[in-house]
Structure 1
Amino acid sequence: MTHYYSLRLATLTAACFLIYTSASATPIVTDDNTAVRDETDYTLSLRPAVSERLFISKAIEKEIVRIKRMITNEKLAWMFENCFPNTLDTAVHFSAIDGDDDTFVYTGDIHAMWLRDSASEVWPYLTFVSRDDELRQMIRGVILRQFKCILLDPYANAFSDGAENSEVYERRWELDSLCHCLRLAYAYWKETGDKSVFTDGRWQKVMQLVLRTLREQQRKDGPDPYAADSLMDHHSLRPVRPVGLIASAFRPSDDPVTLPFIVPSNFFAVSSLRKAAEILSKVNKDAKTADACKALANEVEEALRRYATVEHPVYGRIYAYEVDGFGNRLMMDDADVPSLLAMTYLGDVPADDPVYLNTRRFVWSEDNPYFFHGNSGEGIGSSRTGNDMIRPMSLLVRALTSTDDNEIAACLRMLITTDAETGFIHESFYKNDPKRYTRSWFARQNSLFGELIVKLIRDKKIELLNDL
């Protein structure tokens, strides 16, 4: 099989620090004439002009107006208006192919479509589709494009928009990429009742391929086909004991694994396979494939029960981040989703799971090697962004999974004070200086920020927002 590879043009950008000077900032001299400060006009939207927006949803525009009227914190309202529609404004390319919906979603400054990112970028808009049929069609197009991508290569994580269809942009095997697609398709079905994405034959072909791929990555039956057919096979040849877990070559952050069984990704696989089984059973009446999904989910769940936890001397029983089946465990958490912190956000474990609650204390502490604390804030990073670089995604996930208003407020304060007055959420920022950051255009985190604000409004926490 021939695969297409492309160097990521944004790799150097993501690895370098960007220094920002706001175009909307006015230099203000202090009263004693000793210093100059920047004052940003929070009434000035940073969205593209209406004529330049890639996709406009009437329902989302109404929600932006409604929520902005409720929020008295000027900067928070400004950032919400900039961030919540950012995917629609700048990343969504909606059209029709062969008379059917098709949507290609940029990840932001990289003009390629990641399966994980595209699913996450449109996720916060799902609850609005009943009010906006064009929005529903756009998300339907994302799902159909993802199906095409999986059928092209289930081991690829990112795709470019070729002259006629998708081409492989990056072939990094990440278990969570397939899971994000299943999660989005299931949620779309539940929200809309639309079965059409599952009834033309593609969906069942997708699930046969997904099942085959996940079984291959349990590493039970001979050589790993991904390692044998990948230029990155040095990441895939790390040994594992085939205990029923599913291996990955790369983490959700695109970083290479240390131990191939990523625990939160395997939890995500369990919940995603069960969602797929429900669709196959209720929509397709395909008991055989549904049973295969449930059987694999049960097997992975049992293996997680046996191999995913460890007794920590400080926090008690907690989940490891990566394991290998031999008894080795990597104790850390990464900022990207799925993560240990995000397991309740994804619905993979109950919110009151005592092991999760212990793990939550561990990952937000200096016992997690990727937890950083500085003058500007604290949070979890990734090896891709380097030491002392905090990823706002961890703050967003912490707030989304918290039941403590003080904890949520602390996360929000850090989010609105570490944007370097750009009005957007970056990939990461330096713990002591938010003006040193990576990736000024990262639509996925902007969507997640919008999702958090909408959730807090729906949870009737407007006072929390306005007390910031």
Structure 2
Amino acid sequence: MPTDRRNLMVRGALLGAGLASAGIAPVAAGQGTGARFPSKRPAPADRRFVSSAVEQEIARVSRMIADPEVAWLFANCYPNTLDTTVRMATVDGKPDSFVITGDIPCLWLRDSAAQVKSYLHLARQDAKLRELFRGLIARHARSVLIDPYANAFMEDPSAPTALSWAKADDTEMRPGVAERKWEIDSLCYSMRLSHGYWRATRDAAPFDMQWADAMRAIVRTFREQQRKDGPGPYKFQRASRQPTETLLAGYGTPTRKNGMIHSGFRPSDDACQYSLFVPANLFAVTTLREMAQVANEARRDTALADDAVRLADEVATATAQHGIMRLADGSDVWAYEVDGYGNAIFMDDANVPSLSSLAWLGCVPADDARWQRTAKAAWSEANPWFFKGTAGEGIGGPHQGVNYIWPMSLIVRALSTTDDATILQCLATLKRTHAGTGFMHEAFEKDDAAKFSRDWFAWANGLFGELILHIAATRPRLLKMPLDGIKV
């Protein structure tokens, strides 16, 4: 994010004011049960979207959690997207779902798809949720057709951007576009949303001609950004003191074309140092194949499916050949970014897709030796964006800067491991670093969790809910274990 969002740091006496702006009252953590942990949800009449299935799931899972503070966090965080970010309408007689990120009233393709993921397993039994998903899939399709290079969109497709930091960008800003940072993962999340809904419901209603046109635009855009025949149509520059906010000469640093897809920006919305961003290329391979499954099964569109699979196979081969590197200790790992000339960066960023998230995303097997080496190195001093302090340890990134840990990294680590001790340590850290707010944040300072960014960040809240659901389904005994004695 630009400077406006980098400055959303909350501390001390400002904490209450920051929370009040989102309609949330702070509460001291660790004070007991019942009235000592009052709900931080909006009043029922003020909730943007209500699902009976989600309410039942909150009640069911909360009964499984022994720690009252963790149960309180789950009940606040899990429904946060529905409670506060969903705007339902109709377009051409069909549902339209506009899902904002939280404190920014725009739809990010990535965030919106990730925010609703933890409700997918309930969609088959809840007609209202199916309407939400149908509307969001349609909104994604229309957005991609407006501009497949954009990462964020306005609710009104005819409106200019309302984001102050994007108004002067040197790029082709079309009506309806809020920000035009080219990120491979934005289009991947649209395909993942479609596949998740199809797999959960077998409901073919959203997969109409508009959807197919959007999927063809995704394949076309990925091919353009292989840059085999030139730099392609996308160019972006922004006047900023932050080098992560703009691209060198509008295109990024030079690359040797090798079949991988170029990305201007990472899922943090920060510029890539080298444009061949490995986690997003691996995610593209996986989601292209998922989209092909939907095209085949829901539409019998073999031409679209075959085209997507051919591209996935090509990118997979290229990434396997060019996306690896060796660390100083000789470990063979996935690189974070490469340039095709033999130069590579090893680091990891909390935002997903990341190297740490590859197994959870289904891009590599969880027992893959290279990924395990990579994830171990990412959670260590081999990663310049790994921080350890008195408040906790975890991965951050350039977006919020040195010494700031993202709860998202802890959640993804817990979702990616089968080690009980690691899961409990991550859960204990999350419990101790919400600064009494009852919600997850974008990032917190490694030695003082009261210094944090974004008191209304729905993606992180949804991920926390997803983690608790995952533990309840796979290791319910861990929800009965005390967390207060666990060192973080």
TM-score, normalised on structure 1? 0.92
Rounded to whole Å, the distance in 1 between the matches of 2:97 and 2:462 is: 17
Q: Percent identity?
A: 44
Superposition pairs of residues 327-346 of structure 1, within 5 angstroms = 327-346=342-361
Higher mean displacement: 155-164 or 180-189: 155-164
Is the contact made by 2:158 and 2:176 (CA closer than 8 Å) also made in structure 1? Answer: no
Instruction: Within 5 Å, give how 1:39-118 maps onto structure 2.
Output: 42-118=36-112
Opposite residue 10 of structure 2, the aligned amino acid is L
Task: Tell me the residue number matched to 2:312.
Answer: 297
For 1:131 and 1:390, locate their aligned partners in 2 and report how far apart those are by CA, in whole Å.
37
Partners of 1:163 and 1:279 in 2: CA distance:
27
Amino acid at match of 2:283: F
How do 1:265-284 residues align onto structure 2 when only pairs under 5 Å count?
Answer: 265-284=280-299
Note closer, same or farther for the CA distance 1:229–1:293 as it changes in structure 2 (3 Å cut). farther
Gaps of 5+ in 1: 1-7, 28-36
Over 3 Å counting, the alpha-carbon distance change for 1:190 and 1:406 in structure 2 is: same
Who is 1:209 aligned against? Answer: 217
C-alpha deviation, 1:286, in angstroms: 2.5
Are the counterparts in 2 of residues 371 and 380 from structure 1 also a CA contact under 8 Å?
Answer: yes
Do residues 14 (structure 1) and 6 (structure 2) align? Answer: yes
- Alignment check: 8 A CA contact 1:54 1:93 kept: yes
* Number of equivalent positions: 450
Matches within 5 A, 1:340-359: 340-359=355-374
Query: Structure 1 residues 224 and 230 mapped into 2: Cα distance closer, same or farther (>3 Å)?
Result: farther
For residues 54-453 of structure 1, the aligned pairs below 5 Å read 54-162=48-156, 167-199=176-208, 201-227=209-235, 234=248, 235-314=250-329, 316-453=331-468
The answer to whether the 8 Å contact 1:315/1:358 transfers is no
Residue by residue, what CA displacement relative to the aligned partner does 1:172-198 show, whole Å, maximum 9, x if unpaired?
A: 000000000101101101111111211
- Unaligned 5+ segments in structure 2 are 20-24, 160-174, 240-245, 484-488
String of CA shifts for 1:324-380, please: whole Å, max 9, x gaps.
Answer: 111110110010000000001110000111000000110000110000010000000
Q: Distance in 2 between matches of 1:237 and 1:12?
A: 23
Q: Tell me the amino acid that sits aligned with residue 15 of structure 1.
A: N
Return the offset for 1:26: 7.1
Matching residue of 1:4: none
Q: String of CA shifts for 1:249-295, please: whole Å, max 9, x gaps.
A: 00000001100011010000001111111222233333222221111
Q: Give the 3 Å change call, closer, same or farther, for CA 380–233 of structure 1 in structure 2.
A: closer
The runs of at least 4 aligned residues of structure 1 exceeding 6 Å deviation read 37-40, 163-166, 228-231
Would the alpha carbon gap of residues 239 and 131 (structure 1) be closer, same or farther in structure 2, given more than 3 Å must change? same
User: How many Å separate the matches in 2 of 1:292 and 1:132?
Assistant: 34
**d(CA) in 1 for partners of 2:54, 2:48:** 14
Q: Which amino acid aligns with 1:400?
A: L
* Cα deviations by residue, 1:195-215 (Å, 9 ceiling, x for unpaired): 12113x112211221111101
Name the CA distance, whole Å, in 2 between partners of 1:87 and 1:130.
19
Contact 1:315 1:362 in 2 (8 A): no
Q: Give the conservation status (yes or no) of the 8 Å contact 2:134–2:205.
A: no
SS in 2 for 1:195: coil
2:7 alignment partner AA: A
Counterparts of 2:157 and 2:283 in 1: how far apart (Å)?
Answer: 34
How big is the shift at 1:42?
4.2
Structure 1 residue 24, shift from structure 2 partner:
5.3
Where 2:326 maps in the other structure, the secondary structure is strand
Please tell me the residue identity of whatever aligns with 1:12: D
CA distance in 2, matches of 1:384, 1:39: 35
- Write out per-residue CA displacement over residues 282-333 of structure 1, whole angstroms, 9 at most, x where no aligned residue: 3333322222111111111111111111122436211000001111101100
Amino acid at match of 1:98: D
Aligned-residue RMSD, C-alpha: 2.1
Q: Is the 8 A contact 1:112 1:161 kept in 2?
A: yes
Paired residues of 1:15 and 1:384 also in contact (CA < 8 A): no
- Kindly state the Cα deviation for residue 464 of structure 1 after the two structures are TM-superposed: 4.3
Report deviation, 1:223: 3.2
Determine the C-alpha separation between the residues in 1 that align with 2:32 and 2:4.
31
Distance 2:343 2:398 in 1: 20
SS at match of 2:234: helix
Asked whether the equivalents of residues 424 and 478 of structure 2 are also in contact (C-alpha less than 8 Å), the reply is: no
Contact 2:138 2:206 in 1 (8 A): yes
Kept in 2, the 8 Å contact 1:374–1:431? The answer is yes
SS at match of 2:357: helix
- Report the residue type matching 1:205 in the other structure: D
Deviations 1:45-95 (A, max 9, x none): 010000000000000101111122221201001100100000000001112
Q: Secondary structure at the match of 2:435?
A: coil
1:208 is aligned with what amino acid? R
Q: Is the 8 A contact 1:226 1:233 kept in 2?
A: no
CA contact (8 A) 1:26 1:39 kept: no
State the shift of 1:229 in Å: 9.6
CA contact (8 A) 2:247 2:271 kept: no
**Native 8 Å contact 2:198 2:204 kept in 1:** yes
Secondary structure at 1:145 match in 2? helix
User: 1:316 & 1:409 partners in 2: Cα distance?
Assistant: 28
- In the aligned structure 1, how far is the partner of 2:237 from the partner of 2:482? 55
